[in-house]
Amino acid sequence: MGIYAFRLPDIGEGVVEGEVVEWMVTIGQEVKEDDAILSVMTDKATVEIPSPADGKVISRKGEPGDIIAVGQICIEFEVEGKGNATEAESPAAETKVESKDEIKEAPAVVPEPKEEAKTETIVPVSNAVKGERKLASPAVRRRARESGIDLVGVAGSGPAGRITHSDLDSWKEAGSPVAAAGPNRSQKSGTIEIPVIGLRKRIAESMTASYTTIPHFSYFEEVDVTELESLRQHLNANRAAGMPKLTYLPFIMQALVKALKERPECNALYDDENMVVTRHEAIHLGIATQTERGLYVPVVKHVEAQDIWQTAEEMGRVTQATRDGKAGIEDLSGSTFTITSLGRMGGLGATPIINKPEVGILGVHNAKDSAVVIDGQIVIRRIMRLSSSWDHRVVDGFDGASCVQVLKGLLEHPATIFM
């Protein structure tokens, strides 16, 4: 038997370190090559690291929230044969991650990255030992905690027995104590401390940087989308086989192409350190997307070169890949303007925070029938509210308001979107 010391591989895109989000294996666990062993958060995406070999886990370096440098040993396996004993015996093998603020220098030699992880079906684990820490994502653990579910008694259907949301549903449907119990009305005094790590930490850092360094101003407007709704229904009813169903967002994205061309100062990135504004001819629209793991912003690239069906298809692809945890770094970076949709939640207004270094963001509320006055008569029209925020260092109030008004005109007369 030998020891295989595995170093954090080069994740690409200039990434030099990653934050440990979750270990998917435990000490003593037998794993197969390409089994997911570690989830790492970089500045741009969450990446699952596959096992480089068959073997038994004998050590792990770093806990959730710690930072591991590319090239640093993150896990060691006991394997058949000699392993890479020379590497395991080197001083680097004893390197430990002290904290997310204390990173030791990584060796210069990085082994070739393995092939992409393959999906493998694992038989659910049902014979859990009391006190064993079951494998589950932070979102699943939070849901179980809030529902009073002890994960030790839940069989996991994911890789290596990992518990999923569907496993929690199945457990409750099977007549679990939680499903049968009535409401708990007893007084409670406990507290739960939740470390801010992984994606939640990135969101906190990004929002703090945006809100504290960008002087926001917001602008609200109502849009009559009655005609747009009629066109949307017509196109959906007559779309060809295999074409995506159109929501409001593809129309808004196509209208933004024209609005941002008229107001190019709104399709820009601001480098506040060097005080340089870069206006973009290409229109790459970020779509704020809520997932079980938190908020991500996948990007639809080159909307200016697409028709509405292509926009809808690409938006569906990147948002679904993001929800499934399969979006790559290319899908999650490069936006020049962001849209955040409140969907069915609606609301009267919001003050969305700009996705730095962009200079504007558009919030889209739900559309609903409302009584409005037209030519002195009260009529029912379909009204949508828009909330926008702008970087006042770069975008004057008139410019931001004008961009929204151009957008309003296009959406209220949807034929002009395609002219």
* Residues classed as catalytic: 392, 396
Phi then psi for residue 208, to 5 deg, are -65, -45
Q: Tokens 């699943």 correspond to what residue?
A: 140
- Tokens encoding 266: 């709104």
Classify residue 344 as exposed, middle or buried by CB count within 10 Å of its CB (0-12, 13-18, 19+): exposed
Binning the chain into helix, strand and coil, the percentages to the nearest 5 are 30, 25, 40
267 contacts 415 by C-beta, under 8 angstroms:
no
Report which of 338, 328, 325, 334 is spatially closest to residue 294, judged by C-alpha positions. 325
**Structure tokens given for 379:** 């009529």
Nearest to 39 by CA among 139, 187, 176: 139
- Three-class DSSP labels, 114-151: CCCCCCCCCCCECCCCCCCCCCECHHHHHHHHHHCCCH
DSSP, res 27: T
| H/E run at residue 166 | helix 165-173
- How far apart, in whole angstroms, are the C-alpha atoms of residue 259 and residue 267? 10
C-alpha to C-alpha distance for 149 and 166, rounded to whole angstroms: 14
Whole-angstrom distance, CA of residue 16 vs CA of residue 372: 56
Residue 419 CB-density burial (10 A; 0-12 exposed, 13-18 middle, 19+ buried) = exposed
Among the listed residues 115, 113, 166, the one whose alpha carbon sits nearest the alpha carbon of residue 143:
166
On the CB side of 240, CA atoms within 13 Å amount to 1
Separation of alpha carbons 269 and 174, rounded Å: 52
- The residues pairing with 337 across neighbouring beta strands, listed in sequence order, are 285
